[in-house]
Every structure is written in structure tokens, then in C-alpha cells.
Structure 1
Amino acid sequence: MGKLVYAGTTEIGFEDRVLAHLQIVIGLKLRRKEGFFFSWRDEQSVGDGRSAIWIDPAVPLLFRYSGGRQPKINKTWLEALTISSNSSAGLQLTEEIGALGADEVDSDSPPGK
């Protein structure tokens, strides 16, 4: 399991595949210097609730992967996450959608390509 390290102090665990999708979507927003909320459902081990953080270009982020292989990117899911990130509620992590395989692209491809 990988980790999103927020502000150098808070570590949030995500599977590497999820983390790769989040890195692309969050990176797109931060390149445009846009702040936004990011929310997700917590695992049972930490209370099974929901959490949210404010993502801002001034706050350092580290995407730490546990595996050495670059996960394939699901284009359909990536586009859904990107649309969510542009909503007034901010980026809401959802379950992976779309057919695996046909919609997968190399992680270097931006959404819509």
C-alpha cells in the first residue's frame, strides 16, 4: 500500500493503483495553481467514516508507492475523477469504474488522450 504524505506530517494510505490516478488528477489541478478539497472514505481500521483535506499549491505533497511497477491508468476512471475535482465539492475518490484493459493507458498519458 502506498501513501499520500500531506504537508510532511500526515500519511494517508492508498493502493498504488489509486495513488497513481490521484497523482495525475491532483497534479493537473496544482499545475493551474488551484486549491480544492479532496475527500475519501476511510478504512475500517481508522473509523470507517469519511475524511477530507484541502489541497493547495503551497502545501507539499509526496506520493510514495510501495511497489516498483508503474500502475496502468484507467482512462474512464481518470476522467471521472478529473470531472469530480472540478466540482464545487472537490475531488471525491470513488470506486474504480470502466472496463479494465480497454481503457487502460500508460501513466504518462494525460486524461482525454
Structure 2
Amino acid sequence: MATLLYGPQHDPIHIEDRALAHLKIVIATKLRRNETFTLSWKHPEAEPGGRSTIWIHPSIPLRFVFDEPEAPQINVRWVEELMHTANSSGGIMLVDEVLDIGEIERQH
């Protein structure tokens, strides 16, 4: 389980490594453009139910911490879907990974 540390209090936000690797690409792209936005996610099963939203701004400290030493292979379709939500009025919503038919067939 990876951790996103946001803000000076560094309250840990636990997100699965693969998901955070994809989110990092979208967040870095938005921040490079000096865009502010929200990030929303459902709480992991090990935490109390519900969901959270934070406001992402370039001036607020942000750190990505991964448990896995190697970066995962990036699913471009998933990044595109996350970027699509990032460009909406609701901000980034951590959605489940998007797989195309060819990728599903290769896994079986």
C-alpha cells in the first residue's frame, strides 16, 4: 500500500501502489500546468467507510511514497480516464483501472 502525504501535517493517505503510480502522472501533469483541482477517493477496506476529497494546489507540499521499489507498467487508458475526471468540474476521482479487451485476453 503506497502513501500520499499532502500538506504540512503529512496525514497519510493510503492508496494501492499501482493506483498511486497512475495518479502521480495525472497530478504532476496538472500541477506542471499550474492547475488546481480536487482529488477524491473511497477509503480502503481497512479504514472506516466513506470517501475523502482534498484540494490540490502547487503551493502545498506533496509526497508520493511507494512500497514497491520498481514502478509498475503504466496503463495509458487508465491515465486517460483519470485525466478525463481531472478535467471535469468534480476533479480527479480515483476510478478502478480501465482495461481494454486485448489486455484482458493477455491476462487469461
Give the Cα–Cα distance (whole angstroms) in 2 for the partners of residues 75 and 100 of structure 1.
14
Give the Cα–Cα distance (whole angstroms) in 2 for the partners of residues 30 and 101 of structure 1.
32
Q: Which residue of 2 aligns with 1:108?
A: none
Larger CA deviation: 91-100 vs 13-22: 91-100
Moved over 6 A (4+): none
- The letter for the 1-side match of 2:4 is L
The answer for unaligned runs of 5 or more in structure 1 is 103-113
Q: Which residue of 2 aligns with 1:5?
A: 5
Q: Which residue of 1 aligns with 2:106?
A: none
| Post-superposition offset of 1:16 | 1.1
The answer for unaligned runs of 5 or more in structure 2 is 104-108
Q: Is the 2:5–2:64 contact (alpha carbons within 8 Å) kept by the matching residues of 1?
A: yes
TM-score (norm. length: structure 2): 0.88
Q: Which residue of 2 aligns with 1:87?
A: 88
Task: Say what the alpha-carbon RMSD is for the aligned residues.
Answer: 1.5
Q: Alpha carbons of 1:57 and 1:101: their partners in 2 closer, same or farther (altered >3 Å)? A: farther
1:34-85 deviation per Cα after TM superposition (whole angstroms, max 9, x unaligned): 1101000012332220100000000011000101111111111110000100
Q: Which residue of 2 aligns with 1:78?
A: 79
Q: Is the 1:74–1:100 contact (alpha carbons within 8 Å) kept by the matching residues of 2?
A: no
Give the Cα–Cα distance (whole angstroms) in 2 for the partners of residues 82 and 14 of structure 1.
18
**Identity over aligned pairs, percent:** 44
Q: Which residue of 1 aligns with 2:61?
A: 60
Between Structure 1 and Structure 2, the one with more helix by share is 2
Larger Rg: 2
TM-score (norm. length: structure 1): 0.84
